[in-house]
Amino acid sequence: MKKYDHKKIEGKQQKAWAKTKLYTTKEDTKKPKYYVLDMFPYPSGEGLHVGHPKGYIATDVVSRMKRMQGFSVLHPMGFDAFGLPAENYAIKMKVNPAVAVAKNVARYKKQLEILGFDYDWNREVNTTDPAFYKWTQWAFLKMYEKGLAYESSEPINWCPSCKTGLANEDLEDGKCERCGSVVEKKPIRQWVIRITKYADRLLADLDALDWPESIKESQRNWIGRSEGAELVFPVVNASTKHELSNITVFTTRPDTLYGVTYAVVAPEHALLTKLKTENPAAVSNWAEIESYTASAKAKSEIDRTDVKREKTGVMVHGVSVKNPITGELVSLFVADYVLADYGTGAVMAVPAHDERDFAFAKRYGLPIKEVILGGDIKTGAFAGFGTLVHSGHFSGQNAEVAQKGIVSEAKGKWVVKFKLKDWVFSRQRYWGEPFPIMRDGDVVVPVSEKDLPVILPKVKSYEPSGTGESPLATIKKWVEVKIGKEKSAKKMMRETNTMPQWAGSSWYYLRYMDPRNSSKLVDPKKEHYWNEVDLYVGGAEHATRHLIYARFWHKFLFDMGVVSTKEPFKKLQSVGLIMAEDGRKMSKRYGNVVNPDDIVATYGADTMRVYEMFMGPFDQAIAWNTQSMIGSRRFIERVWRLGEKVSTTKKHVDTPVIEAVLNKTIKKVTEDISMMRFNTAISTLMATMNEFEKNDMLSRGAYEKYLKLVAPFAPHVADELYAQLGNKKSIHITSWPICDETKIGVEKVKIAVQVMGKVRGVIEVEKDLSEAVARELALALPEVKKWVDGKEIVKVIYVPGRIVNIVVKG
RNA sequence: GAGCACGUGGCGGAAUGGUAUACGCGCUAGUCUUAGGAACUAGUUCCUUACGGAUUGGGGGUUCAAGUCCCCCCGUGCUCACCA
């Protein structure tokens, strides 16, 4: 037998697979389908490091097994390339983003190809391809038609360095996720998507998904549903008691209404401007108030929401607010611990039972009135539900029970609020999908469907202007559109903002089903065939951004009748990060990056694949260790050498022990791959190898079955060895072995004999041995006798195939 | 501060409530080799000369039996964080 030469084998097999179009996917209605999807990469200038392919290897393993199990498998790959990272990179390298992206994509593709994945490259998509983004624009157009996309000039997060507005989801600790700059609040005209309209569905449909609980929990947290009451507090002139206006507060604890000792509005609250215009004389300290609101607004989000900061605020002198249930007048404050964009921007303060109100009241010497017995404010933001006191005729009732009555008596209404904000959808940058929107003066005119796509023009200068307009605004030829041919034709102006990076990735998985369709986003027949994504694998960092946007986009398309499922991704699996050997993140900055090209050259793609699946539990973060990888290489070499032990005579029959081991391995490996427990699948294959090596000869049939189990992990060497046995067909399109349970059962098992729970001996018996015989055998063991003699046997527990436990007394 | 994970040899880790430490790395000894390495063979949780004992972050509990279930504490990681 020749020496194992990974370079030769891997090159040869990859060529053969391409030549025979082994992985070309078809909608085969005679087969069940399986759609397994990777989160497509964002091709950066640095190329892939060994951590990136971990998830791709996993989907490759699953897809190969599924194919062998008779499924028609869709396992596609594409590239997400619009947006800030590509654009900032292009600016830095002084090249056009389109050129940089094409180069990076080519490099990524090459790096992926040498790993021997079974992607059907005929279905490749790229979000920056006009044939693709035509449908991103189309969906936006439909959202606009349905009133889900609207223009707004509310202050939004603005990154001063990237010179663009950002969505809430794009922030990390109040900083720009891309460049780390502290984000400012700035009023910018922008397109916003009413994702909040889907908040309840996004929340409710989570329950049925087969996703990691932690990711579902993050989404619930992000959507942040809370039920509570809106209560109206009249605002009155403090001396005349004359009603000037009113504020609506939102509270989840209306049962504490009797404990309200003051009220607070956010610095941005409309009441202040309203009072200033309508009743300026009612308030005596405008200067103080205005200086406070101005400084609050000037603060960055990060400063303003710092929990450790002491709470500040200013009393609004001259006005009081009236408790809607007691008629009591309490003072009004402006304070920035109340957020303008949550609830109603105004709260009723109950310092006795709310931690934040308590801190504020203590600082400003405000009254604290207890209304719930046993409500310890130190235990959390809110008191528990105890018995009400000092609460009028509600006193003595359970607080939770009393809520309803209090709300109705205060003439409040029950409402549901969400933390989720509408999606700020425009960026003042060049490298993104243009909006299919024009303007005739102030009137918004959507581009008609037949004129899609609106192609992103080539520009000389694509640096951001910082003015709130994108660089597209400077291209007069593109911005001005003539409607009609005659000289008097109307001139319209194109929208010059572009869409955010997350637009294309919100629906790309649908395009793989029908990537070249120019008349439809996806053909309904194909959509019906592939249906939802059966398995989606990617990083947990997308929990609250991509995975929320994509679910929203999908639900919208469902409402439009474009897709037939309510949810896009049936099962989600997170992939754990691969860290560098030093335990830090792999980064050029630290100089600790391991390049897969080098690993493949030295050890081979099969070794790298096996190693990454063997390292540890798939969803756990783990440090790379090149030294440890040698074990995977040895394993492959042992599989290779095992070929020498394979019997050439057809008559060879395996021993019952070998048959049992093989069938158990088939069962375990099949289960483990299905459950993404790749590390134990491989350890089982290794243990099986140890058993095989103890034997003199192995039948060809047994070896072939074993090779099939190895094939998803090490596809090149498995196919090569399979061919060396004289097979003409690729191993990857043969059928997956099935476990023969009858071959497992006959085997004798070693079971432990315990005395008082401590193992004292072992007996080798038939699996279904009767209790009486087991007891007799166990008690006959000298090492057991030693511990039992002279003592009374209280009872004997026998679990067939597992254990005998003798309980003694004395 | 809240939520969610998690804590097992020198290291990565395995274990439907049923022989803890599978599998792999490393290490030790041996074979082969001019040598080194590679490869192969054997050994490798700890204490003890041995008999035996101890052991899954610490403490308690349930059970014939606990790494696994329950309670308390300590530690680590991730996510969210003034959401009324």
pLDDT tens figures, A709-743: 999 999 999 999 999 999 999 999 999 999 998 88
Protein-to-nucleotide distance from the CA of A660 to the C1' of B30, whole angstroms: 33
Beta sheet of A149-152, edge-to-edge order: A149-152, A190-193, A423-424
Q: Is the CB of A415 under 7 A from strand B?
A: no
Q: Kind and range of the H or E element at A262?
A: strand A262-265
CB A676 within 8 A of CB A618: yes
- By C1' distance from the Cα of A682, the closest nucleotide is B23
Per-residue pLDDT band at A695 (split at 50, 70, 90): confident
Protein residue nearest nucleotide B15, by CA to C1': A680
The stretch A411-439 carries a mean pLDDT of 92
Answer yes or no: is pLDDT of A174 > 80.
Answer: no
Protein-to-nucleotide distance from the CA of A378 to the C1' of B73, whole angstroms: 21
Answer yes or no: is pLDDT of A81 > 70.
Answer: yes
Residues 353-372 of A with CB under 7 A from strand B: 354, 356
Q: Is the CB of A416 under 7 A from strand B?
A: no
Instruction: Tell me A432's DSSP state.
Output: S
Q: Is the CB of A174 under 7 A from strand B?
A: no
Round to whole Å and give the CA distance between A159 and A180. 9
Protein-to-nucleotide distance from the CA of A690 to the C1' of B42, whole angstroms: 15
Q: Is the CB of A637 under 7 A from strand B?
A: yes
Q: Is the CB of A338 under 7 A from strand B?
A: yes
The stretch A767-794 carries a mean pLDDT of 85
Percent of chain A with pLDDT over 90: 62
CB A373 within 8 A of CB A389: yes
Residues 6 or more apart whose Cβ sits within 8 Å of residue A319: A235, A236, A237, A238, A244, A275, A282, A283, A332
CA A45 to chain centre: 24
Q: Output the DSSP codes for A659-704.
A: HHHHHHHHHHHHHHHHTT-HHHHHHHHHHHHHHHHHSS-B-HHHHH
Question: What does the radius of gyration of chain A's CA atoms come to, in whole angstroms?
Answer: 34
Q: Is the pTM of this model over 0.95?
A: no
- By C1' distance from the Cα of A752, the closest nucleotide is B19
The stretch A549-566 carries a mean pLDDT of 96
CB A356 within 8 A of CB A378: no
Beta bridge partners of A796: A806
Instruction: Tell me A430's DSSP state.
Output: S
- By C1' distance from the Cα of A168, the closest nucleotide is B80
Q: Is the CB of A803 under 7 A from strand B?
A: yes
- By C1' distance from the Cα of A761, the closest nucleotide is B19
Q: Is the CB of A342 under 7 A from strand B?
A: yes
CB A721 within 8 A of CB A773: no
Protein-to-nucleotide distance from the CA of A636 to the C1' of B10, whole angstroms: 26
Q: Is the CB of A218 under 7 A from strand B?
A: yes
Residues 6 or more apart whose Cβ sits within 8 Å of residue A61: A609, A613, A673, A678, A712, A713
Percent of chain A with pLDDT over 70: 98
Round to whole Å and give the CA distance between A785 and A791. 10
Q: How many CB atoms lie within 10 A of CB A273?
A: 11
CB A494 within 8 A of CB A479: yes
What is the per-residue pLDDT across A48-80, written as a single tens digit (0 to 9) for each? 999 999 999 999 999 999 999 999 999 999 999
The stretch A288-292 carries a mean pLDDT of 95
Answer yes or no: is pLDDT of A172 > 90.
Answer: no
Per-residue pLDDT band at A375 (split at 50, 70, 90): low
Report in angstroms the alpha-carbon separations of A158 from A80, A165, A427, A467, A629.
23, 4, 10, 11, 46
Q: Return the residue matching tokens 């391809």.
A: A129
- By C1' distance from the Cα of A803, the closest nucleotide is B18
Residues 90-129 of A with CB under 7 A from strand B: none
Q: Is the CB of A771 under 7 A from strand B?
A: no
In strand B, which positions have an atom below 7 A from any protein CB?
A: 1-5, 11-16, 18-20, 22-26, 39-41, 52-54, 64-66, 77-84
Give the Cα-Cα-Cα angle A740, A743, A746 (nearest 5 degrees): 150
Instruction: Tell me A35's DSSP state.
Output: E
Q: Is the CB of A634 under 7 A from strand B?
A: yes
Q: What is residue A475's three-state secondary structure?
A: coil
CB A24 within 8 A of CB A122: yes
Q: Is the CB of A431 under 7 A from strand B?
A: no
Protein-to-nucleotide distance from the CA of A756 to the C1' of B52, whole angstroms: 17
Residue from A786, A787, A761 nearest A774 by CA: A761
User: ipTM for the complex?
Assistant: 0.94
Q: Return the residue matching tokens 């798939």.
A: A618
Q: Is the CB of A221 under 7 A from strand B?
A: yes
CB A440 within 8 A of CB A484: no
A782 compared with A138, residue with greater pLDDT: A138
Residue from A286, A246, A244, A280 nearest A265 by CA: A246
Residues 238-257 of A with CB under 7 A from strand B: 250-253
Per-residue pLDDT band at A124 (split at 50, 70, 90): very high
Protein-to-nucleotide distance from the CA of A799 to the C1' of B67, whole angstroms: 21
- By C1' distance from the Cα of A418, the closest nucleotide is B83
Protein-to-nucleotide distance from the CA of A573 to the C1' of B5, whole angstroms: 15
Mean per-residue pLDDT of chain A = 90
Q: What is residue A428's three-state secondary structure?
A: coil
Q: Is the CB of A295 under 7 A from strand B?
A: no
Q: What is residue A453's three-state secondary structure?
A: coil
Protein-to-nucleotide distance from the CA of A75 to the C1' of B15, whole angstroms: 33
Round to whole Å and give the CA distance between A192 and A548. 15
Protein-to-nucleotide distance from the CA of A3 to the C1' of B16, whole angstroms: 42
Residues 664-683 of A with CB under 7 A from strand B: 677, 679-680, 682-683
Q: Is the CB of A695 under 7 A from strand B?
A: no
CA A467 to chain centre: 34
- By C1' distance from the Cα of A637, the closest nucleotide is B39
The pLDDT of residue A379 is 46
Answer yes or no: is pLDDT of A320 > 90.
Answer: yes
CB A51 within 8 A of CB A109: no
Per-residue pLDDT band at A465 (split at 50, 70, 90): confident
Q: Is the CB of A224 under 7 A from strand B?
A: yes
Q: Is the CB of A627 under 7 A from strand B?
A: yes
Protein-to-nucleotide distance from the CA of A708 to the C1' of B30, whole angstroms: 36
Q: Is the CB of A693 under 7 A from strand B?
A: yes
What is the per-residue pLDDT across A191-244, written as a single tens digit (0 to 9) for each? 999 999 999 999 999 988 999 888 888 898 889 888 899 999 999 999 999 999
